[in-house]
Chain A
Amino acid sequence: QVTLRESGPALVKPTETLTLTCTFSGFSLSTSGMCVSWIRQPPGKALDWLARIDWDDDKYYNTSLKTRLTISKDTSKNQVVLTMTNMDPVDTATYYCARTALTGLYYYFDYWGQGTLVTVSS
């Protein structure tokens, strides 16, 4: 059974750095083809993909946010960590981690965590 769970602060101040951890089970990020992504959703708005890390440690970022994001993994702990610098109130959102599966050449988000709401306010 695949599960993912996000953890991190519920409240951060403007200009601070956000660190979120995704802890997963039911699959291994050392398995070829396995990836984990971070996606966020501001209240009442659409989904916004942030970053992806692959089994071979390749990393991909939203081009608009690339300078602020860092994604990393700890395979032994089954964890993926996302950091986002210089937080702003517009970054207030529910942050999800999702397993990113690969079938042939096609990637898709097949399992999602429940999400964690991060509010940016002074």
Chain B
Amino acid sequence: DNQMTQSPSSLSASVGDRVTITCRTSQSIGTYLNWYQQKPGKPPKLLIYAASNLQSGVPSRFSGSGSGTDFTLTISSLQPEDFATYYCQQSYRALYTFGQGTKLEIK
């Protein structure tokens, strides 16, 4: 199985900060990488698909980059509603796996 490793597992930041979350895969997956945001008690919400494509309706402060085995999700200026848990997910072949999550908390 393709292992997904997110870092950090948790992060404290302030409103207005620029934040970067990293996802590393054990096998190369091209750009078959998606990012989701999940708030407590809610289902995940798609933010980015195919590594860098912003899902419709998602604010432009969210961006994704990377290819192969290393990917990043960047939030350019944190807003209060961005404090949540973020997951990467690989979609290379139909063997979908998620990262362990990054919990973004208010400093």
**Which residues of A approach B to under 8 Å, CB–CB?**
37, 46-49, 52, 60, 62-64, 96, 98, 103-110, 112-115
Contact = CB atoms under 8 A, between A and B. Distances in A.
Contact of B91 (A47, A107, A115): A107
A63 B95 contact: yes
A96 B91 contact: no
Nearest to A94: B43
Contacts of A113: 43
B87 A108 contact: no
A106 B91 contact: yes
A109 B49 CA distance: 9
A110 B46 contact: yes
B98 A109 contact: no
A37 B34 CA distance: 15
A-B CB proximity, top 6 nearest: A112-B43, A60-B94, A49-B96, A108-B49, A47-B98, A106-B50
A108 B46 contact: yes
Contacts of A104: 50
